[in-house]
Chain A
């Protein structure tokens, strides 16, 4: 899998949405992306890409698209 496929799979697994819904997906936009789901999502991304997200980045990670920008800081290009 390439980075985009890995990124999408983490989102789909945690939030239980389909890939066609991802581009518009935002924090609290679906039931499973609440505060608990957010921490699960962050932990899953850290594991998937072997990174440690900074606390400020976890707080700024407000949408699927915003997450791509944030991961660039960790040299992960989606």
Chain B
């Protein structure tokens, strides 16, 4: 678990990051009073400890997109605390059926790594692999705003990596990008559900329009300054 202290319009805000070890995808927790936001849940008891520490009684679960490594802890989390599930409409459509939450990509990535170094990641993953569908409570189309406690997010549809990808701005200094922007890896636009043209016409221009000093909390890896994104500009 990693902890960051940020400031939004002179108000301090804490951000916790919990990597999902198999593929290093990120879950984030932003507490605010008795409520808070959790991005892209994975199953991690340290999150529950953070809830206890902050007296969190209710959360909004926010998804950056519909891939397994960003949604697999959702049902676990829903069983632990009162919550609502928020995401882009296309994301909601995809996760509403089991096929849309398939673990096959993660499984294949792990098996490929095993083939290179003789590891046993795939067998371990297979034992805990989940099959599920999810029902979103609140969705948005092109853009929206989400207010949870003192946290104010601006939400934007950013198709390309997946149809339901979204980016969330926190104040004018911070952005949660999911897999639409990762520091040292080109955004993957070759999945069957990807749309390179949408990324190039909608998402990339939007990302390039953001303030160059903005701090990115990405879908994988550590936070970075947006002007350090290797494949954006």
Contacts and interface: CB of A to CB of B under 8 A. Distances in A.
A44 B192 contact: yes
What range describes how many residues of A lie at the interface? 10 to 19
B124 to A, nearest CB: 13
Interface in A23-66: 32, 35-40, 42-44, 47, 52-53, 55, 58-59
Contacts of B103: 55
B147 to A, nearest CB: 37
B191 A40 contact: yes
Interface stretch (B42-50, B108-116, B164-172): B108-116
Contacts of B192: 39-40, 43-44, 47
Contacts, number: 38
Interface string B102-139: 01110111011000000000100010010000000000
Given A32-B190, A55-B107, 5 more contacts: A36-B191, A37-B190, A39-B192, A52-B99, A59-B107
A32 to B, nearest CB: 8
A36 B190 contact: yes
Interface residues of B, number: 17
Nearest to B114: A59
B125 to A, nearest CB: 9
Nearest to B113: A35
A44 B193 CA distance: 10
Nearest to A27: B112
Nearest to A42: B104
B188 interface: yes
A36 B194 CA distance: 11
B138 to A, nearest CB: 28
B213 to A, nearest CB: 32
B107 A43 contact: no
